A and B are shown apart, each in its own frame.
Chain A
Amino acid sequence: GQQLNQSPQSMFIQEGEDVSMNCTSSSIFNTWLWYKQDPGEGPVLLIALYKAGELTSNGRLTAQFGITRKDSFLNISASIPSDVGIYFCAGVNNAGNMLTFGGGTRLMVKP
């Protein structure tokens, strides 16, 4: 099925560094979601974006809904070891009943 283009696929950074990842799509979405998945667990919702141009923060996380409605980015500031995991973007279709996921960004943080 359709998949969003998420980049980068993986990142290995030093603790304290900022992180940026993004998703692009050929289709328009009405809602963008960002999830984090820890090993062996289900994804947990970090941030939900409902409006084009919206910029939302959750602690050290900031995400934006692209003005074209075809992209979104997630920034993590001052990374810490517990930020390690896989981050997924997801777009919600117009009917609100279907998610399309990005391929994930695997984040590794060196203490």
Chain B
Amino acid sequence: SQTIHQWPATLVQPVGSPLSLECTVEGTSNPNLYWYRQAAGRGLQLLFYSVGIGQISSEVPQNLSASRPQDRQFILSSKKLLLSDSGFYLCAWTPGSGYTFGSGTRLTVV
């Protein structure tokens, strides 16, 4: 079966520290992969998407970057976190049953 894994579930990081969030998909090949961010009580903002290994499109200028080192692996990174990077980060993939989301990572920058 097709599943999406995202970790960690929660993360508290100091300002200026690096970040690495990982998302992996199982049971499929060559998926489109997406990173979204959701501020508290707000809608979902698309950050990055990838249609293949090494192919990254950025939707919003950010203090963040993304990489896709393997077909089913999508990584969200930052060299130096800002307070404004706090939020709920969601990975998603397609094709699948609609777009399928991971369970999310709640990042708090302190």
Q: A98, B49: Cβ atoms under 8 Å? A: yes
Chain B interface size, as a band, is 20 to 34
Q: Looking across the interface, which residue of chain A has its beta carbon closest to that of B41?
A: A106
A104 in the interface, Cβ–Cβ < 8 Å? Answer: yes
Query: Across the interface, which residues of B come within 8 angstroms of A11, CB to CB?
Result: none
A66 in the interface, Cβ–Cβ < 8 Å? Answer: no
Q: B101, A1: Cβ atoms under 8 Å? A: no
A21 in the interface, Cβ–Cβ < 8 Å? Answer: no
Query: Across the interface, which residues of B come within 8 angstroms of A41, CB to CB?
Result: 103-104
Q: Looking across the interface, which residue of chain B has its beta carbon closest to that of A41?
A: B103
> How far is it, in angstroms, between the C-alpha of A102 and the C-alpha of B60 when the chains are bound?
17
- Chain A 74-104 residues near chain B, CB threshold 8 A: 88, 90, 92, 96-99, 101-104
Chain B binder among A12-20, A42-50, A54-62: A42-50
By a beta-carbon cutoff of 8 Å, the part of chain A in contact with chain B is 1, 3, 33, 35, 40-45, 48, 88, 90, 92, 96-99, 101-104, 106
Given contacts A43-B101, A98-B49, 4 further A-B contacts (CB under 8 A): A1-B60, A33-B98, A40-B88, A41-B104
Provide a sorted-by-A list of 8 A–B residue pairs whose CB atoms are within 8 angstroms. A42-B102, A45-B100, A48-B97, A88-B44, A98-B46, A99-B34, A99-B46, A104-B42
